Amino acid sequence: MTQAATNAAPASAPITQDVLTIPRKLPETGRVNIIGLTREELREALIAAGTPEKQARMRVGQIWQWVYHWGLRDFAQMTNLAKDYRALLAQAFDISLPEIVTRQVSADGTRKYLLRIAGGHEVETVYIPEETRGTLCISSQVGCTLTCSFCHTGTQKLVRNLTAGEIVGQVMVARDDLGEWPQPGAPRDETRLVSNVVLMGMGEPLYNFDNVRNAMKVVMDGEGISLSRRRITLSTSGIVPEIAKTAEEIGCLLAVSFHATTDETRDRLVPVNKKWNIEKLLGALREYPRLSNSERITFEYVMLDGVNDSDDDARRLLRLIRGIPAKINLIPFNEWPGAPYKRSSWERIESFADIVHKAGYASPIRTPRGEDIMAACGQLKSATERGRKSRAEIAAEARA
């Protein structure tokens, strides 16, 4: 079997959520990292460390506030806890975030962080400031099992799932870097720098469902980082069995990497389509707004020159999504070294957008951000990871 075929595992054997998940205890210290534990998990961990059961709920609330509201990293400073209890916590727990290896700032203000996580692996997180808000694009896996032929991350094998702590940690690292934690005594500042989170970085979030769900529970919790579920968008390539679960257990907004209007083309661009084709995917998407009580689904559509960008494609797309509350996000293809596609011309993109717009759909064209630092959609990849596919493999997949 070729490497590429091995890499295309999901078509035949989808990885389960607990595969490749590392244990919670930090290997370096033997202590449990608090970051990313849900309230219930934290409660259990506190009891296991010697907290009397009757007090555990209250202690969770106190620690939670220090960590997620104030951004504190040191148990010794948690002044509403008894001194010897703080010492007990410091013995059993850590408050530990991924480490920033590099931080690049683009000419347009976009910031790309390369973060090191346990095992020496690296992931990327991108902060995109806009006039009235700021979006943080976070990763859910190191690499990806899927092999979308236009995606840079797809050229990197899956190394492992991120833990919930590593997912929440990306949000906290960005808030640290932007200086976004509230200052005690200072008037509450309601303008948020990280006002939105999109799960659109490296990896397929629905192949790491439990960790993504738990992380989002922490991020959405009203006593901490407190981002509403409507400010979180999860993007999936179309892992159909997990879509209803996303609605029920996370309830965030959904984006789907649609990218093609026939199974033939989608098989080639998003190979997981061979397992869950357009019809099956649309079936799950039709149910999503009702199950999650949310609004429109975002259909992401990468514009690839001569591949999926004709006026006929635009019209077919409209027929397919009829009846689904939708917004269509056109993404000009972001090129990367060795990519087997070209970006559609602006005239083509505008013509496609026009057809969609006239049919009554919002059809924003996603302005590429941070291209100068390779931070744009689909350009993320940890350059240090080994196990890359060769150019020949990428080209062969694109032709297949």
Residues forming the site for ligand SAH (CB under 6 A): 148, 150-152, 200, 204, 235-237, 257, 300, 302, 331, 333-334, 377-378
Residues 6+ apart with CB under 8 A from 358: none
Contact call for residue 154 and ligand SF4 (CB under 6 A): yes
The minimum distance between CB 257 and ligand SF4, in angstroms, equals 6
Burial of 314: CB neighbours in 10 Å, binned 0-12, 13-18, 19+: buried
Rounded CA gap, 177 and 358, in Å? 42
Contact call for residue 303 and ligand SF4 (CB under 6 A): no
From the candidates 41, 124, 180, 371, which is the catalytic residue?
A: 124
Rounded CA gap, 17 and 245, in Å? 13
Is 144 part of the annotated catalytic residue set? Answer: no
Contact call for residue 148 and ligand SF4 (CB under 6 A): yes
From the candidates 137, 151, 252, 377, which is the catalytic residue?
A: 377
User: Segment near ligand SF4 (CB under 6 A), from 71-79, 143-151, 360-368, 386-394?
Assistant: 143-151
The minimum distance between CB 259 and ligand SF4, in angstroms, equals 9
Contact call for residue 151 and ligand SF4 (CB under 6 A): yes
Residue ranges in 216-245 that form contacts with ligand SF4 under rule CB under 6 A: 237
Contact call for residue 118 and ligand SF4 (CB under 6 A): no
Kindly tell me which of 67 and 200 has the beta carbon lying closer to ligand SAH: 200
CB 131 within 8 A of CB 220: no
Kindly tell me which of 60 and 123 has the beta carbon lying closer to ligand SAH: 123
Among ligand SF4, ligand SAH, none, what binds residue 292 when CB lies within 5 to 8 Å by partner kind? none
Beta strand extents in the chain (DSSP E only): 32-33, 93-94, 99-105, 111-117, 121-129, 134-137, 141-142, 160-161, 196-199, 232-236, 253-257, 297-303, 326-332
CB 378 within 8 A of CB 334: yes
Among ligand SF4, ligand SAH, none, what binds residue 300 when CB lies within 5 to 8 Å by partner kind? ligand SAH
| Phi, psi (deg, nearest 5) at residue 236 | -125, 150
Kindly tell me which of 89 and 202 has the beta carbon lying closer to ligand SAH: 202
Rounded CA gap, 99 and 115, in Å? 5
Per-residue CA distances from 354 to 93, 259, 311, 326, 395 (Å): 55, 17, 10, 16, 32
Kindly tell me which of 7 and 334 has the beta carbon lying closer to ligand SAH: 334
Please pick, from the candidates 246, 257, 292, 334, the single residue that binds ligand SF4 as defined by CB under 6 A.
257
Kindly tell me which of 240 and 302 has the beta carbon lying closer to ligand SAH: 302
Residue ranges in 342-381 that form contacts with ligand SF4 under rule CB under 6 A: none
Kindly tell me which of 118 and 146 has the beta carbon lying closer to ligand SF4: 146
297-303 vs 326-332, strand pairing mode:
parallel
The minimum distance between CB 52 and ligand SAH, in angstroms, equals 43
Is 377 part of the annotated catalytic residue set? Answer: yes
Q: The tokens 């917004």 sit on which residue?
A: 327
Closest CA to 396 of 3, 13, 15, 12: 3
| Number of residue whose CB is nearest ligand SF4 | 154
Closest CA to 316 of 332, 301, 295: 301
Residue length of the chain: 400
Catalytically active residues are 124, 377
Binding site for ligand SF4 (CB under 6 A): 144, 146, 148, 151, 153-154, 203-204, 237, 257
